[in-house]
Amino acid sequence: MILNLQQLQQELEKLPGWELSMITDTSIEKSFKLESFEKAIMFVNEIAKQIEKPNPKIAIDESMVKITITTPGQGVTTQNIKQARQIEEIYKTMQ
């Protein structure tokens, strides 16, 4: 299900640090700080193993990992919110 702006804002309130993309309002994003580049790669590898499609966009800069989630051609969906929650759980295990 595609989320309207009000639904999206309600969901983002439950996901600290996640926000609507400044570039487009059809994706959500968050940056994660890890201890090292190696930990950042491990984090991304876990995401790749566990997250269902659509695949998030991932950018790594040293120990920072920026995740952007959307469903191409649709915007932010309930599946994308589920992915954000899964990523949060993965991140917790990396601490």
Structurally, at CATH architecture level, domain 5-94 sits in 2-Layer Sandwich (3.30)
Distance CA 77, CA 24 (A): 15
Residue ranges of domains in the chain: 5-94
**16-38 pLDDT tens trace:** 999 999 777 789 999 999 999 99
**40-70 pLDDT tens trace:** 999 999 999 999 888 899 999 999 999 999 9
pLDDT range class, residue 80, cuts 50, 70, 90: very high
pLDDT range class, residue 11, cuts 50, 70, 90: very high
pTM: 0.93
Q: Of 75, 90, 92, which Cα lies nearest the Cα of 11?
A: 75
Distance CA 62, CA 16 (A): 22
Amino acid 4: pLDDT? 92
